[in-house]
């Protein structure tokens, strides 16, 4: 697999670790509220849901890192988890915020193209 594809998959994994941190640990902080455009009251009432959502983002990151750790044999694992990120990004863009399309779906598409071409 090309180095560029590996870097992009790793960056997508790192992004999902960051999202995990925001959703699980920083949801109620000024930074977390700003990232998701939340009022303090809404953040407080949804923090358990956000933590659950963050955990799922952690699983996406873990899968991408697992695929990378397997070397060439990990391509199918990377494709599977990139497809999961893509679907999550498309669903999030359709139901929550259009910016999710650019945060998750576009990078996942780029990762899929690079993995397929390498």
Residue-by-residue DSSP string for 37-52: T--HHHHHHHHHHHHH
Q: Is the dihedral of CA 67, 72, 73, 77 positive or negative?
A: positive
Which pLDDT score is estimated for 64? Answer: 98
**What is the Cα–Cα distance from 44 to 38, expressed in whole angstroms?**
10
Q: How far is CA 102 from the centre of its chain?
A: 11
Confidence of residue 1 (pLDDT cuts 50, 70, 90): confident
Angle at 103 between CA 92 and CA 67, to 5 degrees: 95
Structural domain count, the chain: 1
Q: Which of 28, 78, 72 is nearest to 48 (CA)?
A: 28
Domain extent at residue 79: 3-117
pLDDT tens-digit series, residues 38-93: 999 999 999 999 999 999 999 999 999 999 999 999 999 999 999 999 999 999 99
């Amino acid at each position: 697999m090309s180095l560029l594809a590996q870097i992009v998959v790793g960056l997508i994994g790192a992004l999902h670790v960051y999202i995990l941190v925001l959703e699980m640990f920083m949801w109620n902080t000024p930074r977390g509220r700003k990232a998701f455009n939340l009022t303090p009251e809404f953040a407080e009432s949804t923090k358990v849901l956000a933590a659950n959502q963050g955990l799922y983002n952690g699983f996406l990151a873990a899968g991408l890192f697992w695929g990378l750790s397997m070397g060439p044999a990990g391509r199918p694992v990377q494709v599977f988890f990139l497809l999961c990120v893509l679907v999550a990004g498309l669903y999030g863009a359709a139901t929550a915020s259009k910016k999710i399309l650019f945060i998750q779906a576009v990078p996942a598409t780029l990762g899929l193209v690079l993995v397929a071409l390498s």
